Amino acid sequence: LFLIPAGLAVVLLGVFLEEVGFLLRHISSSRRRRFYLWILGLYPVLALTSLIALYVPRSSSLCNFVAALYHSVTLFKFMGLITDFFGGKARMMAALAGQQVSPDPFPCCCCCCLPMVAISRSSRAWMMAAVLQLSVVRTILFFVLLVLWADEKYDYGDVDSVNPNLYVNAIVGASTFVSFYGYLLFYKATKSSLHGYGLRAKFICIILVLVLCGLQSGILETMGALEVIPCIPPLSVVTRAQLIYHYCVVVEMFCIGLYARHTFRKVEPPLEAAEGPPRMCRADKAVQTD
């Protein structure tokens, strides 16, 4: 049973190497190519860190920290990729000038009472801040937990009031929701100006990892603490919760990684089209290649 995630991780690593060759052949812009490599590298990195934690359970905290750190960088790189599609911040603001975004994108319908969001430099700045705050919050929290774990003052799976797990899970959950909301607003603001770039599929690839990594660990950890997960010797409930989480991550990253391969293996409109008037750029279509 434990050979399955190892096989999936090896296949995913091979897929990433194939994607590197594709990007080197078809993406002429070195800047955009770097963005793609950072983003597509997310899936094998998370799969490999979870695979290590699966075979060496005591390394779980360290592997989670490395995965969170790489994911944080990826969030920043993806926002930079969207800006690069427009040809830079100045051209992006020129293309989005005068647009308004509804503050209640699905599934965040609870924000329906908020006014329409006008796209400006300030609104773009707080959208970016909403997305990227998760990178800072989660990296700091995971680093603190790693230090406490090294000092034997942190017990994974303990959710009583004196253990940091309860508060960390609550903070990460709230931070994930804010980041998710910022991503939805940013997507709604930019999708109409970037036809031919497969923007919806690219957002799905990132948001799925965002939600799964932000909430899945806390849910399984709480289930283990409440003894919802059965204890089957020789593994304790906490260890089983960790193994289930890392096993799920490997399988999920394999599935999302294959979807991302299909999504990012597209030749976008050339840079000249992106640098032209926004209406001209909308006429270009992506080309699926084999």
Helices (H) and strands (E) in the chain, counts: 11, 4
pLDDT at 235 over 90: no
Q: What percent of the chain has pLDDT over 70?
A: 79
What is the reported pLDDT for 12? 95
- Which of 65-74, 148-157, 187-196, 217-226 has the highest average model confidence (pLDDT)? 65-74
Question: How much is the pLDDT for 157?
Answer: 56
Which stretch of 23-32, 119-128, 265-274 has the lowest confidence by average pLDDT?
265-274
Q: What per-residue confidence (pLDDT) applies to 177?
A: 85
pLDDT the model gives residue 96: 81
**pLDDT at res. 104:** 65
Task: List, for residues 274-290, the tens digit of each pLDDT value.
Answer: 444 444 443 333 444 44
Q: Are 2 and 44 in contact (CB under 8 A)?
A: no
Q: Which of 75-84, 144-153, 162-171, 216-225 has the highest mean pLDDT?
A: 75-84
Considering only CA atoms, which of 261, 270, 267, 269 is closest in space to residue 288? 267
* Calpha distance 284→270 (Å, rounded): 9
Which range of 42-46, 151-155, 185-189 scores highest in mean pLDDT? It is 42-46
Domain spans of the chain?
Answer: 2-268
CATH of 2-268, one of 1.20.1070, 1.10.150, 1.10.3470, 3.20.20: 1.20.1070
Give residue 108's pLDDT band: very low, low, confident or very high (50, 70, 90). low
pLDDT band at 232 (very low <50, low <70, confident <90, very high): low
Question: What integer pLDDT is reported at residue 241 of this predicted model?
Answer: 80
Cα 287 to Cα 229: distance, rounded to the nearest angstrom: 47
Instruction: Please determine, for residue 149, whether its predicted confidence score (pLDDT) is greater than 70.
Output: yes
Q: Please give the pLDDT value at position 279.
A: 42
CA-to-CA distance for 179 and 176, rounded, in angstroms? Answer: 5
Beta strands in 52-145 (DSSP E): 100-101, 117-118
Judged against a pLDDT cut of 60, whether residue 194 lies above it is answered with: yes
First-to-last alpha carbon distance for the chain, in angstroms, is 33
Provide the pLDDT for residue 252. Answer: 93
Q: Check residue 219 and give its pLDDT.
A: 79
Q: Which pLDDT belongs to residue 109?
A: 57
Q: Which pLDDT belongs to residue 111?
A: 57
pLDDT on residue 116: 73
The pLDDT of residue 72? 84
Return the structure tokens found at 100: 């308004």
Cα–Cα distances in angstroms (integers) from residue 203 to residues 20, 64, 152, 178, 245, in the given order = 20, 23, 39, 16, 23
Predicted pLDDT at 280: 40
pLDDT of residue 290: 42
Q: For the residues 240-250, what does the mean pLDDT come to?
A: 87
pLDDT of residue 267: 63
Given a cut of 50, whether residue 174 has pLDDT beyond it is yes
Give residue 147's pLDDT: 81
For 117, the 3-state DSSP assignment is strand
3-state helix, strand, coil in the chain (%, to 5): 75, 5, 25
What is the SS3 assignment for 73?
helix
Output the pLDDT for position 282: 39
pLDDT mean over 68-79: 88
